[in-house]
Each structure stands twice: as C-alpha cells, then as structure tokens.
Amino acid sequence: MFVLPLGDNAQLRPLEPRHAEEFLAHIDRARPFVDPWIPWATFSTDLASATAVLQRYADRQAQDAARLYGIWLEGTLVGGVMFTRFEAEAGVCEIGCWLEEGGAGHGLVTRACRALVDWAFDERGMSRIEWWVGPHNTRSIEVARRLGMRRDGVLRKRYAYRGERQDSEVWSILADEPRTRRAEPDEALREESAGVVQDGSTAAAKAELDRLMDVFLGAFTNTGGAAPNVDAVREVFVPQGRITSNIGADPVVYDLDAFIEPRRKMLTDGTLTEFSEWEVAERTEVFGTIAHRFSEYRKSGVLRGERFEGGGRKTTQFVRTPEGWRMSSMLWDDE
C-alpha cells in the first residue's frame, strides 16, 4: 500500500471509499474551516453522501482524470490533497487541498502538495500545474506561493456559492520553472549537513524567521479588495531598522516611516491594486543571536491600470531581542 511519511508523525495515503466513516467524522470537524473553499464538503453530510464523494474520486482515478489523498496526523485523518483535474494528454493538471484546524501549523499541506507536484512533473511528464483559489483564501494562496507558483490572473464571478457569484484566482507552475524548497521540520537533518540547522533551538529560530518574512511580504497584499496591513512592518522590525533599495544608480535608504507611508498611499489610493509578493527561494543562516537570509521573490499587481509581473532578490539581517527575533535591516534589488 502506498504510504508517504510527511514528518511530525504524519502520513500521506490514498483516500478511498472504505474510509467513508472516518472521512465523514473528519469533515464534520473541518466543515467550519473548509466549507467556503471546498464546496464538495457541503455534500458530505451523512455516510451515504460521504461514500459517494470518495467513490466519485475513485471512479475518476480509474479514468486517470483525478486523484484523492488523505493526510493522517498521529493516526487521525486531518485533511488531504488532490488532483481535482488531471489531463494527461494536454499535460495540464490542477491541485487542491484542505485541512481541519487540528492539522494546522505543521506544514503538512505544503509537503503533501510538493509530493504531488514532483510526481506530476517527474513521473507523468506534465507541463503545467494549476491552483485555483478564492482571493480571500489567504492560507491556500500562501501554499501556492511556497510551491513556487505564480499568479496568472482572476476569473471574475466564475461560480455561485450560497447565492453569490465568486471570483477565482488562477496560480500555476510550469515544468521548467524552479520549485521552491523552504526547509520544513522534517528536512532539518538534510539541512544540518549544509550548516543551516544545527540543533532544535536553531530550527525553532528558522521557523520564526520564516514567519517574520511571511508577515513582511504579506503586509502589502491588497488582492481581491483586501486592505493592506503595512503597519505590520513595524511589528517585524526593530524600531531603528533600515530598508535599502538598490534598484537605481544610487542606493536609497529608508527608516521605517519613510518606507511605510508612500507604500500605504499607493496601496490604498488605487495606484497599485491586486498586488502580492512572495518568496520562491531562500537561504537562511543562524549564528546564535543573529541571522542572515538571502531571498528570491516574485511579485504581481496592477500599477496605474497596467498588469505587471516581476521579481528580484532581498538580503535581510535579523537580531534576537528580549521580545524575540526581529529584522534589523533589509536590502533589495529588482530584476
């Protein structure tokens, strides 16, 4: 039987009709968290309907058109990943995911989706993998970013949900594009030999630095009409922090106020809309109470009515303060 360890006492396994009772109990726990994003959860309300959902995927797998896998954490089904669409002849497939609250915080969905991405590209020779997501489903969007995907665009009012038309964002990654490899807890031993993670305390520091970077990049997101949270920059930096742009002929050095306020204006007055920025690769080194991170990032948005895609590099320094890890400086250069 196929079983793939995900670390943290978790496994990825096929989710089949014989799991219907366990699946229904899981969906009952997960329903408040996944129902807005996974409509078929609405259809699993009793044992017969839960069985029908799993049987439908089993039938489609037999046609090489879809696949469904469950994530078990310490023996309990807590979520899953799936090929919602698998078009082998066209070389295009779509990946989806869901997770109950009890499975959150372990990176399980990201690791499981990486396994699907690798299998689709390396074993089945797919050319393009898609990720369809609601603009306000920030957790799912973060997974797409961690997989190295790019945001292709928005399909406006694509489907109806409880009487209202909903937008869908389409993200994708191509076979010849780099796949993000951020260190996860189960990757600690492999990173140790490279000098990135030497012990548990350093691994914990790395996880906190990952979080700080996610907060910083997410502070400027205004996709789907969301309000940017630019003041979060102050939360992740020391008060004396400096941010330097090295895009033009001469470096421009900002204190936090000088960096935040122009961006707040652009992101709220209509100048820059549908903006998001995310890491696609990083290298982090921790030395006691200081750390350094070199990042590659991508970004997309609409600037003065014109859609754009871009990216670049950042180098970030961190210090451990009495309040925890904080950024002390950042420099960036666009492509």
CB 226 within 8 A of CB 135: yes
| 282 phi/psi in degrees, rounded to 5 | -160, 155
pLDDT in tens, 302-313: 999 998 888 899
Chain centroid to Cα 27, Å, comes to 22
**Cα(first)–Cα(last) distance of the chain, in Å?**
46
Q: Which residues of the chain have pLDDT under 70?
A: 1, 36-37, 39-40, 180-201
What's the sign of the alpha-carbon dihedral 208, 202, 78, 126?
Answer: positive
Ranges for all domains in the chain classified under CATH 3.40.630.30: 4-174
pLDDT of residue 183: 41
Query: CA angle at residue 301 from 252 to 249, to 5 degrees?
Result: 25
d(CA 198, CA 29): 37
pLDDT in tens, 53-91: 999 999 999 999 999 999 999 999 999 999 999 999 999
Ranges for all domains in the chain classified under CATH 3.10.450.50: 185-334
pLDDT of residue 152: 87
3-state secondary structure (DSSP) of residue 31: helix
CB 152 within 8 A of CB 172: yes
pLDDT in tens, 253-282: 999 999 999 999 999 999 999 898 888 778
* Domain 4-174 is found in CATH 3.40.50.20: no
* Strand ranges across the sheet with 290-303: 252-254, 237-245, 324-334, 306-321, 290-303, 272-287
- Cβ-based burial of 119 (10 A; exposed 0-12, middle 13-18, buried ≥19): middle
- For the domain bounded by 185-334, which CATH number is listed? 3.10.450.50
d(CA 249, CA 256): 22
pLDDT of residue 95: 97
SS3 content of the chain, % helix, strand, coil (to 5): 35, 40, 25
